[in-house]
Chains A and B, each alone.
Chain A
Amino acid sequence: MRRLATLALAAIVLGSLSVPALSQDLTIWWVKGTNIEEDEALKAAVGTWESETGKKAEVSFFANNDVTTKVLASLKAGSPPDLTFSFDYDLAFSPTWAYDGDLVDMSDVLMPIRDEFQKSALDSVYLLNGTTGKRSHYAVPWVQMTPHIHYWKSILEDAGFTESDIPDQWVEFFHFWCDDVQPAAREAGHRVFGLGQGYSTVSNDPFFNIHIWLNAYGAQVVAPDGTLRINEPEQKERIVRAMEEYVRPMKNKCVPPDAANWTGGDDNVSFINRKHLVEMNPTLSVPAAIKKADPNVYLNEIRTRPWPKAPDGSSTPAMVSVKQVVSFTSSANIENAKSFLRVLLRPENIGPMLKGTLGRWMPVMPALLDDPFYTDPADPHIYAMYRQFTETENIPFPHAYSRHYAKVMAERIWGKMLGRIVLDGWTTERAYDELAERMTELFAE
């Protein structure tokens, strides 16, 4: 026993000597890529910066929800990373952070190269700081995304249809997959559901989707000047209509029941494993994953397409969310973060990096698009994304009009409202009332 105690003491002394050195010149927290290539590309850019400056950087990769959690916690504790990227910042947090004065003004990084960027991308990071009362570029636009539709061409054909049978009208389009293809595909031996329309509170996807529906039905929740319109009778009518249409497939058992709990990746898993026919996703992560597993499936079995025409016959615009890289005023190495960004944003670094994602993201620098990688019609997915961005009108999500909308996203009240209707059996009006009340409260805070 005596020996054990001595050992324990020795272990404690030894252990205390092995505290890892925590000082880094640059700490980066980034969303882990779907493919190893994404992460390798970032690490390569970090390597370039390290060799150019002789400084040391540490990069950590996390799943999207986890990086948000980590950043929120570290920001509160006063020790945030120097540079970070997550899919949630532009939608849920940056407007609030910028307003509270938490974000570093990136103008000196962006202005010298502003001509490289698409104007809408720069506009999307031009945020209001409540303490100074002025707007500035409080984030770096990194990539952009818009929800796409993917479908299983092979299963569609097994079910006895061809692609030319797919209607391009909103109501008919969804009716077709739910009422024609789903039963026929099951008849042909596929245990599938029609639509992969999520309604969980853990994923961003339902948030994107419901806004596509709202837009298709002409509903405007927030006006471009930032006024909340949800309580206007005319808007209410349209919102309720859009919500009713959105939940119809779930009520009609055209959506996998587990969609109520889907994380951002679960819908991918379900679609890739042929558990539903039509997937709605804001990036090309599904084709990218499939391409890696089986290029033949990528080329011949699945397809990517834009949204059908709105019920009134007008074409559906691309709702675009520009993803942001941010640094915090309480970060330890702001200057190093900016110096790394200058390296990262060079076309020779960001270009290959985005291609390394297998075309998952749309670049925000038009020059990068001048590349057969994006413009080759032989690619059924990347080219479809390219066309969706370049051939239809691009409009932002409502958080661009009001910083308060970030809280709507952070609390995921749209997903919650959809659950009210589908799981609790509430009427759409009642769910709308709760939604409108909560949103009004959040706007008043």
Chain B
Amino acid sequence: MGHKAIQYAQFALIAIVVMTWTLTPIYHLLVVSLTPVQDSFAGKLWPDRPTLDNYVTVLTQGDYYLTNFWRQMANSIFAAIMTCALVLFIAVLASYVIGRMRVRFGGVVSNLALLTYLIPAAFLAIPFYQVMGVYQLLDSIWAMILAVTTFTAPYAIWVLRQYGDSVPRELDEAAKIDGATPLQILYMVYIPLITPAMIAIGSFALLHAWNEYLYAFLLLNDETRMTVPIALGYYASDDDSPWPVVMAMGLIYSLPPALLYYSVRKYMASGLTSGGVKS
């Protein structure tokens, strides 16, 4: 019993240390967002006069900086959904060919995808920007959607292909014997079987687009066309920002991905690990 108690004390200690480390910055975000703007610099553990005014300001676009908040929120949502759709569309088809069809070039495509997966996105930012200029896509939300798609699709292909390997091929064969075309097999056999992985990778793409900073910052200019993280970055670098309001905005923006993540959590771990780094 004594041994058990010591063990529990050890666990509790680990839990306290880990949670303090993990939650302090998020707690701080919350505290600042609850602080009245004129007390921005109080740096208190808990504000003397906590208020929800900053949230009201954000939600009602009640500050000069926030004139386009809902517009930017709509842009974020649009970008996230489009990226998710594009990534799934590309990756389902490609993973089906690479993993399930008897074609020679599948392996080459697979390696090319892996290669893209392994290039740090920040390294390609400079030429990527130029190329978007050539395509006349600068300052269009599509530039950002395509950028995130480019860097997420390879991972998606990889994950779906791995997941697909665990699905029995006999089903394909049976369908083939019944005279199904590859399109029908894809539609009626493959997609239903890999749905859990699609949910995982779709959420991954969605989160990526929602959170993207570097490419969105470089590619989007106009306040009515940018996504929320870029707007946040702009306010942060401006002379005289109302920080508590900016923090409230950041916290509001953090809620959807947190909710999404927790609602698909059981697919995430198995879905992502099956492709990412399973040994």
Contact = CB atoms under 8 A, between A and B. Distances in A.
Chain A in direct contact with chain B (Cβ < 8 angstroms): yes
B218 A2 contact: no
Instruction: Report the interface size class on chain A.
Output: 35 or more
Contacts of A70: 221
B228 to A, nearest CB: 16
B138 A74 contact: yes
B139 interface: yes
B223 interface: yes
A270 B144 CA distance: 36
Contact of A19 (B92, B142, B223): B142
B140 A22 contact: yes
A22 B133 CA distance: 12
Contact of B85 (A12, A20, A66): A12
B223 A60 contact: yes
A179 B25 CA distance: 37
Contacts of B64: 36
A66 B140 contact: no
Contacts of A263: 237
Interface string B119-157: 000000000011011101011111000000000000000
A31 B192 CA distance: 52
Contact of A77 (B130, B195, B223, B239): B130
Nearest to B241: A265
B225 interface: yes
A329 interface: no
B27 interface: no
Contacts of A29: 221
A386 to B, nearest CB: 23
Interface in A71-117: 73-74, 76-79
Interface in A420-443: none
B238 interface: yes
Interface in B146-195: 187-188, 191-192, 195
A69, A73, A263, A268, most chain B CB atoms within 10 A: A73
A77 B86 contact: no
A74 B129 CA distance: 8
A60 B222 contact: yes
Contacts of A264: 239
Given A20-B225, A76-B130, A79-B138, A285 B195 contact: no
B221 A34 contact: no
B128 to A, nearest CB: 10
A373 interface: no
A138 to B, nearest CB: 23
A2 B187 contact: yes
A62 interface: yes
A8 B129 contact: no
Interface residues of B, number: 39
B73 interface: no
B136 A22 contact: yes
Contacts of B262: none
A11 B82 contact: yes
A61 B40 CA distance: 25
B138 A77 contact: yes
Contact of B240 (A2, A74, A268): A268
A269 B240 contact: yes
Interface string B227-238: 000000010011
A61 to B, nearest CB: 7
Nearest to B86: A12
B173 to A, nearest CB: 21
B88 interface: yes
Contacts of B223: 60-61
A11 B238 contact: no
A8 B221 contact: no
Contacts of A62: 221, 234
Contacts of B89: 8-9, 12
B11 interface: no
B81 interface: yes
A79 B225 contact: no
Contacts of B192: 1-2
7 contacts: A1-B198, A2-B188, A12-B89, A76-B129, A77-B134, A263-B237, A265-B239
Interface of B: 40-41, 64, 78, 81-82, 85-86, 88-89, 92, 129-130, 132-134, 136, 138-142, 187-188, 191-192, 195, 198, 218, 221-223, 225, 234, 237-241
Shortest Cβ-Cβ A-B pairs, 8 listed:
A77-B133, A265-B239, A8-B85, A63-B237, A36-B64, A63-B238, A11-B85, A60-B222
Given A5-B191, A15-B82, 8 more contacts: A2-B192, A34-B240, A60-B222, A62-B234, A63-B238, A73-B129, A79-B138, A265-B240
Interface of A: 1-2, 4-5, 8-9, 11-12, 15, 19-20, 22, 29, 32, 34, 36, 58, 60-63, 65-66, 69-70, 73-74, 76-79, 263-265, 268-269, 272-273, 275, 285, 289
